[in-house]
Chain A
Amino acid sequence: MGRPEPRVDGRLKVTGNARYASDFPVANPAHACLVTSAIAKGRIVSFDLDDARAVPGVLDILTHETVGNEVHEPKFFGSGGTASTIHRPLSSAQISHAGQIVAIVVADTYEAAREAAYRVRVTYEEEDAATTLDSDGVETLPATKVRKEHKNPRVGDAAAALRAAPVTIDAVYETPTQHHNAIELYATTCVWSGEQLTVYEPSQFVHALKHAMAEQLGIDAEDVRVISPYVGGAFGSKAAVTPRTALVAIAARRLNRPVKLVATRAQGFTIATYRAETRHRVRLGAQRDGKLTAYVHEGWEATSRLDDYLVGGTETTAHIYDVPNVSTRVNVVRTDRATPGFMRSPPEVPYVFALETALDELAEALDMDPIELRRINDTRNDPITGAPYTSRSLMACYDEASRAFGWRRRNLPPGSMRDGDWLVGWGCATAVYPTFMGAATARVRLARNGATRVEIAAHDLGTGAYTAIAQTAAERLGLPVAAVEVLLGDSALPAAPVAGGSNTTASCCNVVAKACDGIRRRLVRAAMRADRGPLRGRKPSSVNFVDRHIAGEDGAKVSLADAFDMLGAPMIEEYAHWLPHGMEPDALKKLHLGSAALTGGAMEDRIAAAFGAELVELRVNVYTGELRVPRIVGAFAAGRIVNPRTAHSQYVGGMIWGIASALHEQTELDRRVARYVNTDLAEYLIPVNADVPDVQAILVSEEDRLVNPLGIKGLGELANVGTAAALGNALYHATGRRIRKLPLRIEDVL
């Protein structure tokens, strides 16, 4: 652990041998193609399917007339269920969002299915749809109304503190709709064998998908197996179960033949989830020396009519700085859109953008270096509860990032740095991500020759989970990483939490280490009891597993093979479960039912979070307003780093995401009809290589003895937090113009 091991699955991936969901060969599959709604609200009056049926090879067309109530209503994951929405397409003629599934064509070939899908004619009765935050017909409700558990963090008397503050900021910020757009499309293959269903689908939570199928199809969970060993990017979009899976299962059952669906890129914008647009009003009060006295944050988030999805990011932002008076409030705005869902740092990306921009405005008002402002308001304790941080290295991150960036050379006044035709601005912002962990189980088997197998239904979304888990087992058992085989992404394996909230490394490495410790105990006991054994009579705590041996401090050692012989068994298998601090005792039971419960962040007795500091240079062309980012430096501290190589890649990728969310990504809506417009990767912009020439990630060392036994904090969602604010702040520094709405674009600065 701690070494920059190359990914154990790297070779498989670059040679095309890693099997993603739609790569699994199944016997004689039929191919499905979706037909999606052209309207956002209303009902289907009729279908004309003659043309579609006439396409050679078409086998079946599913509509609400054929499916109806065959899918049982699932429970929304936000209410403890597994589903991304309670909406059941094909259950009725009702249309509740644009691009919802209205029919599924199944044919012998993909081409025939797609052609027939184009030939399906649907007649709608359309009603006016409410599109977004300020549209006619939306319904705005306080988050506490729609979700009982929602808490609006508050402390002190923020209103009074604001009134008394000599310096205040009061501004409104907005963030746009965004879509995950993982490279791997939404794919599902369903295969029935009698009563048993096998689902091949890229998943961030195979146990949830398994139980969702049981729930939605009315079958026994033990008859469902979900296989998802590799996932080509997910970012939250493959965590909650979308409606398509049950429909593909039904299509396969009707035909008594495997059915394979790979939705198109454009359909991916509407059959799954997205990051909803948000608005924020942030008010800050401070003393002239920069000490914050008040923080008031009200947020509005778009959601659907059916599910009360919300991110409530003040649950993160209220705990970051030392402010004695905090008041927050979150509202949901119900629109005629699909239900949003988790997308990499769901609460943090929008809410931290608002707070970190407001802080920059405050620094400006105080005529103060923005990093200094953050130093003045740094804290070791949760300002809301007073509980201590398990560890916190925010200012160390700023120090290391500043040094690498050369922040000292920054001119304070905006518009004062220029290079030829380019105005230059330097901005900074804090990155933060609460540390989450979940109950987990794992099985580890060690054979006499050192061959180790780790089984855990965790998920590798491309992040490096296989490698981190292999490293953990290898270290615990004193073996090379190559001796460890790791099996993930299969609901037949011991349950592991959702790959969400960046908890996988913390949860899974801890439980795998625990299982390994079980193996160690048995071998050590055998070695210590063995007659004439070199370790006879030692204390268990005095030996370690190194280099295929059990070694005492004085150099005495027993090889693994000998220890096995002393034990009299060819192999040991250990099953372990692990409950993180603060987790309810029934968490394991819930985990086995596919519940995504996690613990962490601001808890009663402590608060756990990873921090980072991001410094960026933004250039604005004085003539054309082009915005370019020649360099970005981020320094991050996230407890113990299991693998600096994969951590580095998460940080670099995260900062690139951050640049995208600041300058490029926006799903554009046609507000008249609540439909997305730019639904392909030519028009939904993300940075290309030329946009990210210099991205530097610094790993700041941090030891956390409290957060969990291995001291690991999640970091996958850390680095794309704050980037957008840093860029907006840099834009202000370059031009003197404050843009409070993302993305920052040419038209904003011309």
Chain B
Amino acid sequence: MRPFLYERATSECAAVQLAASGAPAQFLAGGTTLIDLMKLDVLRPARLIDINGLAAGAAGLIEEREGALRLGALVDMAQAAEHPVVRRKFPVLADALRQAASQQVRNMASLGGNLLQRTRCPYYRDRSWPACNRRKPGSGCGALHGQNRGHAVLGVSDACIATYPGDLAVALVALDAVLEIIGADGARTMGAAELHRLPADTPHVETNLAPGQLIAAIRVPAGPWTRRSLYLKVRDRESYQFALASAAVALDLSDGMVRHARVGLGGVATIPWRATAAEDQLVGRRLDGELARATAEAAFAAARPARHNAFKLGLGKRTLERALLQAAQMEL
């Protein structure tokens, strides 16, 4: 780890003011991504601004306002996963959180930090690998022709095929969640789906957050589909592993016909993936096995596998298929 300056902020305002002045800074929440990558010498912030104090205010609260859910960015994963409103009215969020990481990590980790967790690509995480465009722009991609079982098949580029590893963000993009962003120049909102950028030629530019901007909260609108929602996560072992493939599904059904559908995919894409092609397939049709299959096909039509991850096409499709059929059978 390199030496860094440690500062503490007790309000959103103070946090962004601190971040706007002086050497480049990173906000420190649970540290389960940030400190880890600092120890590995992958992230080398000159300053850390500890924002855990913000949890005492609105950033630490879970509120329901006019049907919409507002999750403060410093709510920890465990707290959100266990919250009765989240569990009852937004089961896909509770599912995604409950199946993420371990109880110990969930106790430490914040929701804001969770969205901004970095890829688990081993060529990124170990700086002794010479090639990684995400870590060292222009150096090439170690994974493209290396070990890539865990890598993405959707949203990939020749510059980077790293999987976005998080679970929560997949559910959030499906539900059209909105982020409350605060910068030194004021507050604004941003769709959760706009947070992450496709790698394209610049995988090192990971998000559309400007330096020093703070995520204050996540707002999740309720819709007739949010109650009939779930998150299905497939992995080699039962728990404590990132997804090989996952699907966040929210459905509004009427007599078996799909009125609205929201579909997110995880473990298979470079960003939290909103599968709009799949949603288009579903709307206005009767959800049966055949439609689920066709939907899954559509969702992966543009997939581009590498050497070791070709199985993710089949796995991703079946995961989505299962998630759709399970959601259709949910008893509300």
A interface residues (Cβ-Cβ under 8 A, vs B): 36, 38, 111, 114-115, 118, 266, 623-628, 663-664, 668-670, 672, 675, 677-680, 682-683, 685, 687-691, 745-747, 750
Complex alpha-carbon distance, A388 and B315, angstroms: 52
Complex alpha-carbon distance, A52 and B142, angstroms: 26
Q: How far is the CB of A710 from chain B (nearest CB, A)?
A: 40
> Are A118 and B127 also in contact (CB < 8 A) when A623-B318, A746-B315 are?
yes
Complex alpha-carbon distance, A683 and B318, angstroms: 23
Q: Which 4 interchain pairs have the tightest Cβ spacing?
A: A747-B311, A690-B238, A38-B128, A677-B147
B interface residues (Cβ-Cβ under 8 A, vs A): 1-3, 39, 41, 120, 122-123, 125-130, 142, 145-147, 149-150, 234-242, 244-245, 311, 314-315, 318-319, 321-322
Complex alpha-carbon distance, A623 and B318, angstroms: 6
By a CB distance below 8 angstroms, the chain B residues around A266 are 126
By a CB distance below 8 angstroms, the chain B residues around A679 are 122, 126
**Do A678 and B122 touch (CB < 8 A)?**
yes
By a CB distance below 8 angstroms, the chain B residues around A628 are 238
**Could you say which of B120, B127, B147, B234 contacts A624, with CB atoms under 8 Å apart?**
B234
Complex alpha-carbon distance, A628 and B237, angstroms: 8
**Do A38 and B237 touch (CB < 8 A)?**
no
Most chain A CB atoms below 10 A, which of B128, B130, B142: B128
By a CB distance below 8 angstroms, the chain A residues around B123 are 677
**Do B321 and A685 touch (CB < 8 A)?**
no
**Could you say which of B1, B120, B146, B237 contacts A670, with CB atoms under 8 Å apart?**
B146
> Are A685 and B236 also in contact (CB < 8 A) when A118-B127, A668-B149, A679-B126 are?
yes
Q: How far is the CB of B128 from chain A (nearest CB, A)?
A: 4
By a CB distance below 8 angstroms, the chain A residues around B245 are 624
**Do A115 and B3 touch (CB < 8 A)?**
yes
Q: How far is the CB of A131 from chain B (nearest CB, A)?
A: 12
Complex alpha-carbon distance, A624 and B311, angstroms: 11
**Do B234 and A683 touch (CB < 8 A)?**
no
**Could you say which of B150, B234, B237, B242 contacts A688, with CB atoms under 8 Å apart?**
B237
Most chain B CB atoms below 10 A, which of A668, A669, A677, A691: A677
Interface pairs (16), CB distance under 8 Å: A36-B128, A118-B2, A118-B127, A627-B236, A663-B237, A672-B146, A677-B123, A679-B122, A679-B126, A688-B237, A688-B238, A688-B239, A688-B240, A690-B237, A747-B315, A750-B311
By a CB distance below 8 angstroms, the chain B residues around A664 are 236-237
Complex alpha-carbon distance, A663 and B241, angstroms: 14
**Could you say which of A36, A670, A688, A750 contacts B314, with CB atoms under 8 Å apart?**
A750
Closest to A111 in B: B1
Complex alpha-carbon distance, A745 and B149, angstroms: 11
> Are A682 and B318 also in contact (CB < 8 A) when A115-B1, A688-B237, A746-B244 are?
no
Complex alpha-carbon distance, A671 and B244, angstroms: 22
**Could you say which of B1, B147, B244 contacts A114, with CB atoms under 8 Å apart?**
B1
**Could you say which of A111, A625, A677, A682 contacts B146, with CB atoms under 8 Å apart?**
A677
Complex alpha-carbon distance, A266 and B129, angstroms: 13
**Do A668 and B234 touch (CB < 8 A)?**
no
**Do A38 and B120 touch (CB < 8 A)?**
no
Q: How far is the CB of A381 from chain B (nearest CB, A)?
A: 42
Closest to A126 in B: B130
> Are A682 and B1 also in contact (CB < 8 A) when A623-B322, A747-B311 are?
no
Closest to A672 in B: B146
Complex alpha-carbon distance, A623 and B323, angstroms: 11
**Do A115 and B2 touch (CB < 8 A)?**
yes
**Do A677 and B122 touch (CB < 8 A)?**
yes
Closest to B244 in A: A746
By a CB distance below 8 angstroms, the chain A residues around B129 are 38, 675
By a CB distance below 8 angstroms, the chain B residues around A111 are 1
Q: How far is the CB of B315 from chain A (nearest CB, A)?
A: 6
Q: How far is the CB of B2 from chain A (nearest CB, A)?
A: 6
**Do A691 and B315 touch (CB < 8 A)?**
no
Complex alpha-carbon distance, A750 and B314, angstroms: 7
Complex alpha-carbon distance, A625 and B127, angstroms: 34
Other CB < 8 Å A-B pairs besides A623-B318, A664-B236, A688-B240, 20 of them? A624-B315, A625-B318, A626-B235, A664-B237, A675-B129, A678-B147, A680-B125, A682-B242, A683-B122, A685-B236, A688-B238, A688-B239, A690-B237, A691-B237, A691-B239, A746-B234, A746-B244, A746-B311, A746-B315, A750-B315
Q: How far is the CB of A446 from chain B (nearest CB, A)?
A: 47
By a CB distance below 8 angstroms, the chain B residues around A678 are 122, 147
By a CB distance below 8 angstroms, the chain A residues around B234 are 624, 626, 746
Closest to A686 in B: B237
Q: How far is the CB of A33 from chain B (nearest CB, A)?
A: 11
Q: How far is the CB of B237 from chain A (nearest CB, A)?
A: 5
**Do B321 and A691 touch (CB < 8 A)?**
no
Q: How far is the CB of A112 from chain B (nearest CB, A)?
A: 9
**Do B239 and A624 touch (CB < 8 A)?**
no
By a CB distance below 8 angstroms, the chain A residues around B130 are 38
**Do B238 and A682 touch (CB < 8 A)?**
no
By a CB distance below 8 angstroms, the chain A residues around B240 are 688
Q: How far is the CB of A653 from chain B (nearest CB, A)?
A: 17
**Do A683 and B146 touch (CB < 8 A)?**
no
**Do B322 and A670 touch (CB < 8 A)?**
no
By a CB distance below 8 angstroms, the chain A residues around B125 are 680
By a CB distance below 8 angstroms, the chain A residues around B319 are 623-624
> Are A624 and B322 also in contact (CB < 8 A) when A663-B236, A691-B237, A745-B236 are?
yes
**Do B237 and A687 touch (CB < 8 A)?**
yes
By a CB distance below 8 angstroms, the chain A residues around B41 are 118
Q: How far is the CB of A747 from chain B (nearest CB, A)?
A: 4
By a CB distance below 8 angstroms, the chain B residues around A688 are 237-240
Complex alpha-carbon distance, A188 and B75, angstroms: 41
**Could you say which of B120, B146, B150, B236 contacts A746, with CB atoms under 8 Å apart?**
B236
Q: How far is the CB of A64 from chain B (nearest CB, A)?
A: 18
Q: How far is the CB of B137 from chain A (nearest CB, A)?
A: 19
Q: How far is the CB of B132 from chain A (nearest CB, A)?
A: 12
Closest to A690 in B: B238
> Are A690 and B321 also in contact (CB < 8 A) when A115-B1, A683-B122 are?
no
**Could you say which of B127, B147, B318 contacts A750, with CB atoms under 8 Å apart?**
B318
By a CB distance below 8 angstroms, the chain A residues around B242 are 682
By a CB distance below 8 angstroms, the chain B residues around A668 are 147, 149
> Are A672 and B145 also in contact (CB < 8 A) when A38-B130, A115-B2, A682-B120 are?
yes
Closest to A750 in B: B314
Complex alpha-carbon distance, A515 and B133, angstroms: 66
Complex alpha-carbon distance, A687 and B237, angstroms: 7
Most chain A CB atoms below 10 A, which of B122, B123, B242: B122
Q: How far is the CB of B127 from chain A (nearest CB, A)?
A: 7
Complex alpha-carbon distance, A688 and B102, angstroms: 10
By a CB distance below 8 angstroms, the chain B residues around A750 are 311, 314-315, 318
By a CB distance below 8 angstroms, the chain A residues around B322 are 623-624
Complex alpha-carbon distance, A118 and B37, angstroms: 13
Complex alpha-carbon distance, A750 and B310, angstroms: 11
**Do B147 and A670 touch (CB < 8 A)?**
yes
By a CB distance below 8 angstroms, the chain B residues around A38 are 128-130
Complex alpha-carbon distance, A746 and B319, angstroms: 12
Q: How far is the CB of A10 from chain B (nearest CB, A)?
A: 23
Complex alpha-carbon distance, A745 and B235, angstroms: 10
Q: How far is the CB of B190 from chain A (nearest CB, A)?
A: 29
Closest to A745 in B: B236
Complex alpha-carbon distance, A114 and B38, angstroms: 11
Complex alpha-carbon distance, A121 and B129, angstroms: 13
Q: How far is the CB of A746 from chain B (nearest CB, A)?
A: 6
Complex alpha-carbon distance, A44 and B150, angstroms: 32
Complex alpha-carbon distance, A672 and B146, angstroms: 7
Complex alpha-carbon distance, A617 and B210, angstroms: 52
**Do A623 and B321 touch (CB < 8 A)?**
yes
By a CB distance below 8 angstroms, the chain A residues around B128 are 36, 38
Q: How far is the CB of A54 from chain B (nearest CB, A)?
A: 12
By a CB distance below 8 angstroms, the chain B residues around A685 are 236-237, 241
By a CB distance below 8 angstroms, the chain A residues around B311 are 746-747, 750
Q: How far is the CB of B74 from chain A (nearest CB, A)?
A: 24
